[in-house]
């Protein structure tokens, strides 16, 4: 069984052919993925060109309740543009309709901005994990922002222990190695991982941090140094989640074949494979 923690539907850019629910299900069957989290593309001006709302995700969930896991999306600035906004009633309404988490959070704010901290605290109170996209600067196209070595992420992990965070994107995964620099942390660093980075320190230290292996960022992190990648998967088998970030028509997702090959070639244990591909997600999303 495989659960995909990160997919999208709709049309992201001007050039895109919209991804339909039917195409997603067809690919899930091809990739032997039993269930997929669908993340809305809305509520953030820095997000995609064309929105696919939480309500649309829930409509797809009603059509495919055995295959789709809906998340809802909120922007920390919504409603009042305030650090005191009450999100609890919205979170509860979406939770009652079937949403299992919140994200992908893409507001271009510092990750420990007071408005974000307010939203994240209420996600913890609602027992809904938060999946975030992390970038290197204010003024990026989209995504929450941290400084090099992730001091702001550590702050929210420490101050919001009841909230579970799922990290994603370039400036999260670039921190897998101590050789990360201001120039490389917004992209896809290459080369051997000679010394484990800040990310591993945070994964070891904080029970409320998980890693989303999807997209080029997650895949690059575990394949740039193949031998270290196998060790990383084994060490953090309880903190990692399989994902594709499928969001474009006819998109290639190399992590599907990679995940099967590392198991079949004996690079990771069956236990590690099962945890990363579905057990961790089932636990995190309260599916069992």
Q: Count how many residues are written for the chain.
A: 288
Low-confidence ranges of the chain (pLDDT < 50): none
Cis-peptide, bond into residue 101, ω within 30° of zero? no
Query: Nearest Cα to 45, choosing from 168, 141, 166?
Result: 141
119 near 74, Cβ under 8 Å?
yes
Cα distance between residue 220 and residue 226, in whole Å: 10
Triad 265, 4, 194: Cα angle to 5°: 50
Where in the sequence is the domain holding 96, given as residue range(s)?
Answer: 3-284
Give pLDDT, residue 44: 78
160 near 208, Cβ under 8 Å?
yes
Cα distance between residue 253 and residue 30, in whole Å: 12
* Count of structural domains, the chain: 1
The pTM score is: 0.97
Cα distance between residue 192 and residue 200, in whole Å: 16
Cα distance between residue 222 and residue 47, in whole Å: 26
Q: CATH code at 12?
A: 3.20.20.140
């Amino acid at each position: 069984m495989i659960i995909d923690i990160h997919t999208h539907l709709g049309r992201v850019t001007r050039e895109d052919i919209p991804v339909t629910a039917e195409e997603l299900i067809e690919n899930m069957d091809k990739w032997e993925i039993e269930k997929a989290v669908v993340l809305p593309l809305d509520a953030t001006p820095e997000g995609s060109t064309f929105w696919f709302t939480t309500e649309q995700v829930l409509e797809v969930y009603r059509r495919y309740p055995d295959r789709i896991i809906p998340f809802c999306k909120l922007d920390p600035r919504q409603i009042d543009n305030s650090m005191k906004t009450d999100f609890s009633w919205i979170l509860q309404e979406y939770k009652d309709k079937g949403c299992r988490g919140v994200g992908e959070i893409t507001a271009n704010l510092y990750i420990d901005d007071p408005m974000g901290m307010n939203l994240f605290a209420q996600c913890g109170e609602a027992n809904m994990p938060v999946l975030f996209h992390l970038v290197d600067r204010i003024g990026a196209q989209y995504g929450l922002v941290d400084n090099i070595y992730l001091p702001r992420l550590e702050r929210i992990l420490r101050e919001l222990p009841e909230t579970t965070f799922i990290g994603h994107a370039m400036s999260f995964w670039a921190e897998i190695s101590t050789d990360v620099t201001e120039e490389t942390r917004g992209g896809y660093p290459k080369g051997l991982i000679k010394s484990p980075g800040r990310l591993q320190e945070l994964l070891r230290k904080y029970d409320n941090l998980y890693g989303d292996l999807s997209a080029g960022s997650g895949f690059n992190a575990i394949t740039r140094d193949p031998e270290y990648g196998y060790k990383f998967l084994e060490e953090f088998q309880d903190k990692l989640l399989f994902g594709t970030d499928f969001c474009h028509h006819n998109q290639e997702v190399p992590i599907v074949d990679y995940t099967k090959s590392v198991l079949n070639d004996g690079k990771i244990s069956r236990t590690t494979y099962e945890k990363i591909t579905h057990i961790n997600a089932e636990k995190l999303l309260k599916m069992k």
